[in-house]
Copies of this chain bind each other. A is one copy, B any other.
Amino acid sequence: MTRFCVRCGSATALSIPEGDNRERHVCSACGAIDYQNPRLVVGTVVEHDDTVILCRRAIEPRRGFWTLPAGFLELGEPASDGAARETFEETGVRAHIEAPLVHFDLPAIGQIYLLFRATPVDLSLLGHPETLSESLEVRAFGWETLPWDELAFDAVRLTLELRKKDRQDGVDRLHYGALRRLPEVSTIGPHSHRLEDHLALRVGR
């Protein structure tokens, strides 16, 4: 696909800039380089009593499936602020960020999932999010009755599995790892990703 320069509007071409070692989109007229980098998706696992708050997606992909509140981090925004903002927009819940819970690299799609453990500060708008456009429904699920067969993404399933086990073990952990797509298995069903180089770090103040 032809691409164009954001600075001058001329066509770009793939080439390796001097001093670099990768192909970039370089402007044929002004020489500007259009660097592409992974994007951060930030969100929360809001825990209230023995429940966790999930929302049912109103938009594609995976419309109708349950997910954790999360979205792209914006410029000028700390990750924890972005996670709290997305939580409010998608669930109506004002949340206090407790600690990082998972950092998953998803190199196949150029994204990083950074999800925080959080507790609710104000539940009065639960299920009545600011922008209903992104959620069909918001619900607090008991940890024993999570909708495993209706989760939107593997990163969501894995986050819930890991946090559920941490709670059973009575410890708070940070989980860091890379999720890689395995071509030999289904990309829709459970366990279609493999967590490589998983570091489970016990977390305590």
Of chain B, the residue at the smallest CB distance from A77 is: B107
Query: What are the residues of chain B within 8 A of A200 when measuring CB–CB?
Result: 205
Q: Which of B38, B78, B201 meets A40, CB within 8 Å?
A: B38
Interface bits A129-160 vs B (CB < 8 Å: 1, else 0): 00101000000000000000000000000000
Does A52 have its Cβ within 8 Å of any Cβ on chain B? no
Complex Cα distance, B107 from A174, in Å, reads: 23
Interface residues of A in 173-197 (CB under 8 A from B): 174, 176, 178, 196-197
* Contact assessment for A37 and B40 in the assembled complex, using a CB-CB cutoff below 8 Å: yes
Bound CA span A37–B202, Å: 30
A57 an interface residue at 8 Å Cβ cutoff? no
Contact (A78, B8) CB under 8 Å given A201-B203, A205-B201: no
A110 interface hit (Cβ, 8 Å): yes
The yes or no answer to A61 lying at the interface (CB within 8 A) is no
* Given the contacts A10-B9, A72-B37, A202 and B199 also touching, CB distance less than 8 Å: no
* Contact call A37/B73, Cβ cutoff below 8 A: yes
Q: A78 contacts which of B12, B178, B201 (Cβ < 8 Å)? A: B178
**A9 and B40 alpha carbons, distance in the complex (Å):** 27
Known: A21-B131, A174-B174. 11 other contacts (CB 8 A): A4-B8, A9-B9, A9-B10, A35-B72, A37-B75, A76-B110, A79-B112, A80-B178, A100-B176, A201-B204, A203-B203
